[in-house]
Structure 1
């Protein structure tokens, strides 16, 4: 056999590096891969942003509780916070104190149902704070649930193209089939790469939101009890 025949009989060598798998993939599969990579970057941006936010919120809550239980008067604390952007426990405190002062600093002192109004204000403020903490987490849930299926869609398209190529070339050797299947499976791998961190982070961050919400509700109950006692004292004095 002459060298030309040997060269023709030798199987083609395929580059199976990750870049080559992407570059040689079908256009639709490329779109799927690019979309999943973009979703992965987006999810990591949300993860970092929320992790830093929850860390700042915890520190702010610790500082506020330290000041609140230090013995400083509620009026002084309210004056120091009312003109600042309030979040977390300080937002709950400012909202309740604002309703308190509206009731006692008017011409008509309507404090008969003040306790109920303060409780409603506390509930609304906590709901807003939880919504702020919980925002964008659905992005992680969506990526975590849809990522594998989007990757599987790319895999199906890639395998269909591989079988089409096999039918066109009438060659069923593994050397012909393997590159196309590898390109297709690469899409599934990227889908899992995007989905797994998103699912883990979503569960962890949701747990953090639950802890912060419990802390907000616990403080609201304690503060509501403090104000309720003061309301009872004022009603008794007025009587």
Structure 2
């Protein structure tokens, strides 16, 4: 299925995960200027540095995926979503299991702020396998749970979802050509899986229907991050 993202080169839809401290994050960002277009700021970096790190990355020319996975009562998540986009985030996340009212409140807050940031629902974490999902009390299979939560996120008006690349094809068929489908758990062939359970290569993820892929350690912990990024881009 052709998507609205296909006009953008795949290399421009790689999101580099800066799960590190400020000094390392800024060093990586400066090295990758002119190569990567997106940087991900997660809890590790954001809780240490706050909104300022989002602003700095924006000034360096990056789009920022602020991955804080909001999950609280609707009022709190609405406030968090507004604060995130006003800080300059171009993409934000919340847990779909927070429910329809929570997701609708977040989307409403983003809309009212005047931001065009993408709003994404976390479905099932890419570190989880079937056994771990069932231990949380969910009796569906992972694909069933991902599909159910993605449907609710779409009904709430969100821009898309975060899921493993193994669910990307199903989600593209379910959500259509305009949806953001952002896939962590992406590893170049032969790379260490780390703490990820449901993985695919960058090309496999894009071929399946991902709009964006998130790659951290294979780039950020490489001896030469620029060379690592370029090698991945060349495979696309």
Short-chain TM bin: under 0.3
TM-score w.r.t. the length of structure 1 is: 0.20
Bigger relative contact order, structure 1 or 2, given CA contacts below 8 A and separation 6+?
A: 1
The structure with the greater share of residues assigned to helix is 1
